[in-house]
């Protein structure tokens, strides 16, 4: 440590008039980071924000930043016409705005679904494979399935089956409840030729369900994941008198090295190796059932990075397919599984799990060409090509919108607090005065050393009881100002968000998956703050501090002042897996949900369905608690007015609720919002004060029914 520059008793002119960084000694403020006069901030624009967040990279062809600085949606992709774009900020204003202003009053966070985007994804996938078939001269067709595990939401599954009906598009199930919903949906809406692929480990109940599906006219294929499952299939088919159609999942040698490739290769979780495949063929032949073997399935892994790896894996599987045909199996379909990746970070590269180095069209051509090439060489008729592309179908169709409600502020010293520094113990006061003297001299290295020593000594003295809390806070703020004055980068501020990472972004917490997260409005303004996101949960893992592009912070705007509109961010490309994987950490349930379709109304969209997220009573009930009984117990200890408040608490969502007038976004249209709703999903908590739970079960039923109310029933353009 340098020798003391100033004696502790020597008075020093105080450097703080208003006691903030602007009043720090001039030599320090002209230090390494401020040696030259900084030019005025350059003008900002929506286009610069789009480039900053790489929206055109990961968002094309669906998301862009419009001239108002809002994120907007092209519901029909590149085919969207001018005037059909949907402003996401206006959707949030409609959904979360107060009912008296024409909004739906839905509590945040909010999941916005765009079924038009889902339709476009289904049509684009099938168009890509149709082009691949025609351009390569392939002798069969493409017939895909949607793996419902990606998102089992009723309306998502029904939409995919409906939109895919002209393409014979089917479903894939991996469990008994998934099989039941797939059966029901295909019977009601599906093409008779659509495949129902039954994957996953199976018992007699699962296999019996699949065989029942065949009796209902569904094109069901039971895919063997283990050799032992063949015995279950044969026994059940004989008992029910149904001849099965069987497939096999092969363990390929081909695998990729990323996180999502761990389920592939010879040591993968599912599938049969070469010896087991031959054993199944032998058994089927002995039973006179070899004609039942009609499908070969494999899975290289999700987010396949390159078409070279894809072609290698598909070529290996096609060799197995041709060998099975040579052995006499009634082969008809090759199922290439999942793996069609999406570009989460917009880099179009194969270096990480966050991107892929090919387009949808290139993927389809690689698959079809590889199968055709092997079959031609072996003289085997071209099979139907099936894929289970779930992530690529549903990721783009929904946006999770949540609010940042507060943020940490940089340290500041007011006039009264600054003079506390003169009251420090001798050694700490000497460090403080030496910092000031070094700053005046422009000796930044010495200044930093004394500041570090001051902070360390003051912490030790606080632990010993020598220093008061006010003095400790003054030292911390002073040292932060010193660091800023010396040109040290300001650490990212923590933005507190009204969300549970564990419930709504489980892949981000569990496997480090990154999703694009950006503000959905104010993008015509320069985002001048670097921030990280901290959720509501009582868990240190409930944060987001890794962002696309290798960033460890996210460019954000200063939060609006009190009693103005909220600050909303959107998480994009999260339509796959996040809803099904989310749990109830801290008993935070799912978000409110709206379905928004493109329409010819003045704002180009109509809300066709709306529902508030699970209430406190709902999440308690999910963990085996009995909200009705809990209310009765608590009611005995309080008066009627408090009991009514308790009833409202059980019916409210677990997330924070702010003044709706303060939270509504000033989109310029808010005051003119109209709705044909006769009730608000958020209104479940708005009961009259004297409306207690007269009948425990009746009251709970009313709360639950109103909380889950779908609004509006008839779409109305807005």
- CB-based contact 542:536 (threshold 8 Å): yes
- CB-based contact 615:650 (threshold 8 Å): yes
- CB-based contact 205:236 (threshold 8 Å): no
How much is the pLDDT for 253?
Answer: 84
How much is the pLDDT for 25?
Answer: 55
Alpha-carbon separation of residue 395 from 62, 114, 398, 413 (angstroms): 11, 11, 7, 47
- CB-based contact 432:467 (threshold 8 Å): no
Domain ranges of the chain: 43-114+396-408+490-613, 115-395, 411-479, 615-657
Rounded to 5 degrees, what angle do the CA atoms 359, 83, 572 make?
A: 45
- CB-based contact 76:116 (threshold 8 Å): yes
- CB-based contact 454:475 (threshold 8 Å): yes
DSSP 638: S
Q: Say whether 115-395 and 43-114+396-408+490-613 share the same fold.
A: no
CATH, domain range 115-395: 3.20.20.10
**Active-site amino acid positions:** 538
Rounded to 5 degrees, what angle do the CA atoms 81, 62, 509 make?
A: 165
Kindly report the pTM of this predicted structure.
Answer: 0.84
How much is the pLDDT for 673?
Answer: 31
Q: Under CATH, to which class is 43-114+396-408+490-613 assigned?
A: mainly beta
Separation of alpha carbons 387 and 62, rounded Å: 23
Edge-first strand order for the sheet with 246-249 is 145-147, 170-173, 195-198, 219-224, 246-249, 293-297, 333-335, 384-386
The DSSP bridge pattern shows strands 219-224 and 195-198 to be: parallel
With a cut of 50, list the residues of the chain below it in pLDDT. 1-24, 27-41, 563, 661-718
Alpha-carbon separation of residue 382 from 141, 182, 296, 374, 573 (angstroms): 9, 28, 13, 9, 35
Closest to 195 (Cα-Cα) out of 186, 204, 203: 186
How much is the pLDDT for 587?
Answer: 85
pLDDT tens digits, one per residue of 19-68: 344 444 554 444 444 433 433 446 999 999 999 999 999 999 999 999 99
Query: What backbone torsions phi and psi does residue 691 show, to the nearest 5 degrees?
Result: -95, 80
- CB-based contact 397:122 (threshold 8 Å): no
Residue 269: how many other CB atoms lie within 10 Å = 11
- CB-based contact 76:93 (threshold 8 Å): no
């Amino acid at each position: 440590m340098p020798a003391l520059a100033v004696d502790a008793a020597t008075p020093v002119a105080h450097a703080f008039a208003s006691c903030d960084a602007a009043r720090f000694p001039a030599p320090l403020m002209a230090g390494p980071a401020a040696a030259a006069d900084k030019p005025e901030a350059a003008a900002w624009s929506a286009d610069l924000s789009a480039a900053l967040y790489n929206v055109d990279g990961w968002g094309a062809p669906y998301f862009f930043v419009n001239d108002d600085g809002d994120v907007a949606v092209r519901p029909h992709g590149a085919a969207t016409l001018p005037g059909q774009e949907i402003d996401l900020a206006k959707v949030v204003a409609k959904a979360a705005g107060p009912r008296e202003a024409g909004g739906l009053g839905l509590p945040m966070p909010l999941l916005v679904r765009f079924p038009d985007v889902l339709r476009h994804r289904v049509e684009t996938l099938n168009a890509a494979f149709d082009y691949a078939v025609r351009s390569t001269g392939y002798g069969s067709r493409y017939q895909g399935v949607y793996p419902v595990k990606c998102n089992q939401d009723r309306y998502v599954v029904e939409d995919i089956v409906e939109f895919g009906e002209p393409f014979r598009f089917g479903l894939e199930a991996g469990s008994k409840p998934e099989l039941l919903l797939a059966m029901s949906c295909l019977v009601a809406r599906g093409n008779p030729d659509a495949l129902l692929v039954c994957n996953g480990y199976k018992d007699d109940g699962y296999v019996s369900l699949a065989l029942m599906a065949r009796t209902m006219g569904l094109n069901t294929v039971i895919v063997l994941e283990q050799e032992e499952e063949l015995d279950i299939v044969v026994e059940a088919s004989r008992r029910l008198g149904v001849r099965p159609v069987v497939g096999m999942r092969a363990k390929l040698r081909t695998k990729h090295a990323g996180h999502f490739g761990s389920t592939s290769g010879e040591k993968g979780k599912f599938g049969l190796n070469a010896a087991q495949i031959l054993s199944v063929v032998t058994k089927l032949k002995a039973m006179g059932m070899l004609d039942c073997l009609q499908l070969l399935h494999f899975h290289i892994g999700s987010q396949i990075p390159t078409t070279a790896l894809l072609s290698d894996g598909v070529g290996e599987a096609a060799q197995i397919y041709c060998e099975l045909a040579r052995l006499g199996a009634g082969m008809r379909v090759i199922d290439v599984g999942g793996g069609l990746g999406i570009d989460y970070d917009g880099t179009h590269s194969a270096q990480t799990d966050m991107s892929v180095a090919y387009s949808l069209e290139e993927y389809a051509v690689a698959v079809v060409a590889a199968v055709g090439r092997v079959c031609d060489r072996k003289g085997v008729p071209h099979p139907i090509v099936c894929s289970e592309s779930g992530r690529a179908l549903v990721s783009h169709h929904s946006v999770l919108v949540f609010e940042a409600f507060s943020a940490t502020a940089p340290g500041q010293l007011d006039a009264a607090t600054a003079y506390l520094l003169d009251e420090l113990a001798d050694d700490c006061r000497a460090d403080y005065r030496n910092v000031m003297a070094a700053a005046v001299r422009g000796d930044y290295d010495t200044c930093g050393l004394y500041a570090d020593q001051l902070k360390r000594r003051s912490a030790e003295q606080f632990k010993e009881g020598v220093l008061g809390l006010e003095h400790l806070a003054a030292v911390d703020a002073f040292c932060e100002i010193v660091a800023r004055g010396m040109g040290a980068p300001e650490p990212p501020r923590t933005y507190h968000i009204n969300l549970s990472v564990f419930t709504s972004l489980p892949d981000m917490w569990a496997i480090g998956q990154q999703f694009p997260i950006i503000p959905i409005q104010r993008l015509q303004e320069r985002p001048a703050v670097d921030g990280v996101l901290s959720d509501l949960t009582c868990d240190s893992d409930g944060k987001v501090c890794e962002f696309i592009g290798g960033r460890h912070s996210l460019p954000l705007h200063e939060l609006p002042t009190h009693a103005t509109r909220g600050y909303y961010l959107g998480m994009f490309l999260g339509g796959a897996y996040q809803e099904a994987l989310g749990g109830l950490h801290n008993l935070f349930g799912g978000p409110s949900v709206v379905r928004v379709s493109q329409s010819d109304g003045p704002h180009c969209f109509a809300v066709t369905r709306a529902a508030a997220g699970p209430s406190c009573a709902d999440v308690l009930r999910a963990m085996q608690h009995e909200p009705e009984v809990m209310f009765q117990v608590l009611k005995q200890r309080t008066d009627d007015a408090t009991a009514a408040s308790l009833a409202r608490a059980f019916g409210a969502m677990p997330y924070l609720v702010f003044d709706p007038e303060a939270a509504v976004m000033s989109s310029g249209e808010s005051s003119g919002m109209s709705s044909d709703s006769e009730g608000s999903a958020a209104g479940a908590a708005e009961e009259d004060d004297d409306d207690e739970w007269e009948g425990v079960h009746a009251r709970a039923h009313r709360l639950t029914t109103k909380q889950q109310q779908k609004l509006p029933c008839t779409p109305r353009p807005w």
